[in-house]
Structure 1
Amino acid sequence: MDLSHGYCMVAVCLALTGRSDGVGVLPDRLSGAVGESVMLKVDQSTPLVMASVAWQFHLANGTVIPILVSVVVTTTAPEYINRTKFDNITGSLELSSLTINDTGLYKVMFIPLSGHPINGACNLQVHERVSGVTVTPNTTELLEFSSSVRISCHVSTGTSLSYLWMNGSSEITVPSDRVQVGDGGTTLTILNVTRYDRGPYTCNVSNLISTQKSAPLTLHPIYGPESIQIYAQVDQVEIGQVLYLSCRAESTPPALFTWMNGMNEEIGYGAEFLKTATLLDSGEYTCLAVNNITKLELRAVQSISVTDNSLSSGAIAGIAIAVILAVVLVGALIYRFHTSRT
């Protein structure tokens, strides 16, 4: 039996018995994924034995494509033979290897051995799954308060897409004077960026069958140096001990540090300065922080005292006694000199 003859038999039966619209026989809408399967399930409140069943695919332009008809035997259209599974008990149809072209209206017409004939219809929307979601900024050199950035969301595959931007765990849903979502949700623009606009930013893309999130993007606005400070283990060291200083400053990119002595001579580079202390190392130390992009610089000064505590306490006491005796002796000599002249 060919499909056209089968459809004629079903149509005659419907004409003789009258048709009945089966409300809820099929779901109103279904979504499927390219390359996967979908079940067009006939929902019968009471299972019925079918005398005949016919499935059709209706295109938007009005073209009707027969899929299969089952009267005595089941006959399937050649293009659907390897893509369908028909349940001759319930009348349900499974459609596999879906393509975008399978999007459209599916109708079923069937007549039970007893009872009224039933019709059902379902709109099937076939989508590509979302994949390959990435985000890219139009620039990475962002000067704080003066630069703007536009972040674009790209998708390798996917249809009927929706976009949602996230800053960390917070949705970016309400535009502001500085933060705007545009181009159908595919771009995020931040005007006059600040250091607090780092992110991380992600683009969440979804359709009815899938969702995917991009890898996070962190911005690095350029600023500084600010809040410079020198850290010293102690401000007084002994001869022979290590004189250690470190310098910190808020800056992006990280600041470059130069150390200078009280005569503004460069004596070291880097965030840390250390040397073995001598008496000549007493004085002021300056840390100069420079941002190579902003060209801004900032200084901090730390005073260090170097002492000589190498003598023992006994030696120090002996020296003190000797000084006292010397003072007494000098006084006695002066007294004797004056008395001898009188």
Structure 2
Amino acid sequence: MDIKMLRTAACLVLVLSGLCVGEGILPPGPLSGAVAGTVKFTTTLTPSERPFLSVRWNFKEVNIITSTSTDIIDDGYSGRISLDRATGALELRKLVLDDSGEYVVTIAQDGGLQIQGKIKLNVYALITGANIRSPAAILIEDKSSTNLSCEASGSISTREWMKDNRPLHQSDRVSFSVDNKTVSLQPVHSSSHGTYQCRVSNPVSTMTAAYDLTVNFGPHNVSIAGPSAAAPGQKVTLECKADSVPPANFSWMFNGNDTHVNNSMYIIERLEAESIGIYICTASNMVTMRENSTVLNLRASCSAPRWSFLLLLISTLILRGFM
């Protein structure tokens, strides 16, 4: 015997006693509502020419309303409910958390047959005051650890963590507490630097908090942007770059000697023989106490006029004592 036949048989038994559980009389649920808000328990019944003999709604042990020729309303629901006698739908207002639970409607149709439906209501407090907290500390990559805690008020169903608007996943450095309230970074890395978001939600509200985490790192990826060869007499600009928080300080050396240039730009107004050689840029971070260097070998361009190249070569040899 299939499920449909079993339901039919059960309903026939209940009919003999004057009650049948109406299949689909209420949506499957559960319904969700917000504290101080309104929810409507709609039925799938269409108004008929003959009104229902009675409509009764119950919640736990309380008879919310019994509607026949008159309405009998429980004192606790006075001013909070409205009943549609044509369909049996009930509107419940000024919701409180204690309104959560199972609601039962019993409808007596013309002819004496009673049908019944059940549905669950979950009431949630709106999410408010979402924020992310972290211990105050100076964080240095690969040396420091920290954690971020997501706080909020209201009925919290889920917490979701993101970083720079992308989902944050567990890794060898990232771990989450069982309730997802706290994310731990052990130890922090340069990739840990950025904006963290925590989205707190329930079925009736969502709130997102953000926190900018500063991780001091570097300098990494030091490089010199500029030509490795240029024509004699040409202006040459070299720029030193590095990934670093806080921004790196720069210093330059030329052929092993300090140039006293202490910024990211090194400008050669006119390339001469004495400007050809090895340029070293050193980037340093005063918080991490680390530094890294890179090298550029600046040469005279072979595309320069032959007489200019020969003159530059002769001048270089003279300066170096070969002639």
Same fold by TM-score greater than 0.5: yes
Alpha-carbon separation, structure 1, partners of 2:213 and 2:172: 19
Give the 5 Å matches for 1:313-332. none
Find 1:192's aligned residue among 168, 187, 190: 187
Find 1:296's aligned residue among 282, 285, 290: 290
1:4-63 Cα offsets, whole Å, 9 max, x none, are xxxxxxxxxxxxx945142444446322112221112234488562222232332xxxxx
SS at 2:191's partner residue? Answer: helix
Task: Give the aligned residue type for 1:166.
Answer: M
Amino-acid identity (%): 29
Return the offset for 1:159: 0.7
Q: Does 2:257 correspond to 1:258?
A: no
CA distance 1:267–1:278, shift in 2 (3 Å): farther
Task: Give the aligned residue type for 2:158.
Answer: S
Find 2:68's aligned residue among 66, 71, 90: 71
Return the offset for 1:272: 0.7
Alpha-carbon separation, structure 2, partners of 1:267 and 1:231: 19
Alpha-carbon separation, structure 2, partners of 1:206 and 1:71: 41
Q: Give the corresponding residue for 1:126.
A: 123
Give the 5 Å matches for 1:90-239. 90-139=87-136, 141-155=138-152, 157-167=153-163, 168-170=165-167, 172=169, 175-198=170-193, 201-215=196-210, 217=211, 219-233=213-227, 235-236=229-230, 238=232
Alpha-carbon separation, structure 1, partners of 2:241 and 2:173: 31
Alpha-carbon separation, structure 2, partners of 1:231 and 1:224: 19
Gaps of 5+ in 2: 1-15, 301-306, 308-323
CA distance 1:233–1:209, shift in 2 (3 Å): same
Q: Which has the larger radius of gyration?
A: 1
Q: Give the corresponding residue for 1:20.
A: 19
Q: Give the corresponding residue for 2:86.
A: 89
Alpha-carbon separation, structure 1, partners of 2:185 and 2:88: 56
CA distance 1:164–1:278, shift in 2 (3 Å): closer
CA distance 1:263–1:135, shift in 2 (3 Å): same
Alpha-carbon separation, structure 2, partners of 1:200 and 1:281: 48
Alpha-carbon separation, structure 2, partners of 1:233 and 1:22: 85
Higher strand share: 2
Task: Give the aligned residue type for 2:201.
Answer: S
Q: Does 2:288 correspond to 1:269?
A: no
Return the offset for 1:116: 1.7
SS at 2:98's partner residue? Answer: helix
Gaps of 5+ in 1: 1-16, 59-63, 307-312, 314-342
> What TM-score results when the alignment is normalised by the length of structure 2?
0.72
SS at 2:179's partner residue? Answer: helix
Q: Give the corresponding residue for 2:36.
A: 35
CA distance 1:231–1:281, shift in 2 (3 Å): farther
Structure 1 stretches (4+) deviating beyond 6 angstroms? none
> What TM-score results when the alignment is normalised by the length of structure 1?
0.68
Matched residue pairs, number?
A: 283
Q: Give the corresponding residue for 1:244.
A: 237
Q: Give the corresponding residue for 2:13.
A: none
SS at 1:202's partner residue? Answer: strand
Q: Give the corresponding residue for 1:325.
A: none
Q: Report if the CA contact (8 A) 1:237-1:277 is conserved.
A: no
Alpha-carbon separation, structure 2, partners of 1:171 and 1:298: 31
Alpha-carbon separation, structure 1, partners of 2:279 and 2:120: 79
CA distance 1:115–1:285, shift in 2 (3 Å): same
CA distance 1:18–1:200, shift in 2 (3 Å): same
Q: Report if the CA contact (8 A) 2:46-2:87 is conserved.
A: no
Higher helix share: 1
